[in-house]
Structure 1
Amino acid sequence: MTPTATSGAVHGAARRVQQPQSWEPSVYRAPTPFGPLVLSLQPAPGVELPSHEVLRAALLLAQAEALVQLLEDWLQAPIDLEPGSPGAAGPSAAAHVSLGPAGGGPVLQAQVHLPWAWLQALPPREPALAQQLQALKWQPLATRLVLSRQGVQAAEWAQLCQPGAALLLPESFEPAGWPCALRPLDSVGEALLPQDLGAQWQPHAARLQWLGQPSPAAAATGEVMLEVLLRQPLMLTPPELLAWAGMQVRECAGGAALLERVGVAHAVVHPAQLLPLGLRADGRAGHLLRME
């Protein structure tokens, strides 16, 4: 981890220099086998720092040492941080943490961007490590619940776009539960992962569960590919999405949905409602989609 300096020299310099009330974030990058790690350190207002760039960087990195050590323990490899530019390269997950001396106020705010490939390849197996990582303030991701993926003919698609039209959702009739998929989105609304995560929904019990594993590819043919999505995205953190603590379960009721054409830029999204059909003795029912 660079640059380095002795703690006494750095802290002495910090005491001797009068500084403004706020500092711009300092950004550091490090290569990993899964892509670049980006660490941003924002000193708290009023914190005294040396004006010399190398000393200031050494002081900030010294305050972030525990966080970097945690990431090195997770990666099982050293992390060599160098000054860099803001912004993560490629799909990443962000976590925040306040850093400072024990019993004192925060000295700086840290934000770390980790490649998604890292999170998926290295789920924390050791309970102590998993607990430390989940204690970070992970940034929640807007996550779509994909309820159905079907292929239809062009004429059928044109009819479906009309108010009052209905579409049967065959997945909803599965006796073990409704197989669906979780699709986390990036900041511009695009899919963050190359493959959705499999889930199972029980709308009669308002229960959604998943294991953080990729969803099986849906086999569907037709002139037009379409998807049915729950209208309101779920807000889930990376540890929740990847099920670091095992099976994840959350409350999730049905109701409003969206119908969207797949693979068409700027496709119109049609609002719809999920309607139950054929209630069984166990309380489950198949569903259809009715266009608004």
Structure 2
Amino acid sequence: MTALTLSTPKTVLAVFMGIGLFAASHLASAATITVGGANFSEQSVLANIYASALRKAGIETQTRLNLGNRQVIAAALKSGDVDVVPEYIGSLLAFYDNKAALTDQQAITQALKAKLPDSLELLGSSSAGSATAWAVTHKTAEKYHLKTLSDLAPVSSQLVLGGPPEVKTSALGVPGLKAVYGIDFKSIKSLDMGGPLSRLALNSGTIDVVTVVSTQGILATEPWVVLDDDKNQQPVQNITPVIRKSVLTPQITQTLDKVSAALTTKELTELNRLVDIDHKDPAKVADEWVSKHVAVTAG
């Protein structure tokens, strides 16, 4: 074996720089992408869809699910604890600009790109979307003649709302309902987002109105009435990947854009039903959907 002779300081520097560049390149190529998700089942489905597609593209990926609300996820993105999350453009814009009152998808997207932290990138949106909604039992709907949120306003002071903790302060939660409809509830109970706690509370009469996601599978089986947002208080909520720029590559962009192009509201509702009602594993449901709908190969 021929010995390596380092004849000059410049040669030594060049060799070590070369080693450093190789190590940095190797680490970058071996980096694991962490997909995060909020603490309700639809987010687990979406995060697993992103993760499955990325893995099929040959990208090492892991998930961190049930992280909490948007404040928690924003902090996780900032710190690098997660790299990419499925988001809802209307709610995300309200998070970064609580004075925004846009309803058009293109306008929301442009405003959001201007408001996002410089470290984050908004990828292509899906046609699929799910919005925050409010439901009551058939008994409550009949008692108070409720079909719309406008109908709810005159009797809201007699009723108890249940939902995730952030519904009290989010611009698209209780403050928005009050500003747009004049809805002012008797009290608010911190539960979950249309999950088991909320289901039990509404059906037992502990609460009168429940906060749900419009695409939740539970809405297909529970005898609830989802109140129509007749004044369009909720903006469009196209599901969109938000990713840290420091990890973004053309391959990741291409892969997640394919997911967004394939996902529809109807399909998302069915995926939620499989998880919420049939109690199937979100990771398996997501992987089967990606295999069937997204043409991804390792590159």
TM-score (ref. length: structure 2): 0.23
Higher helix share: 2
Higher strand share: 1
Considering Cα pairs closer than 8 Å and 6+ residues apart, tell me whether 1 or 2 has the greater RCO.
Answer: 2
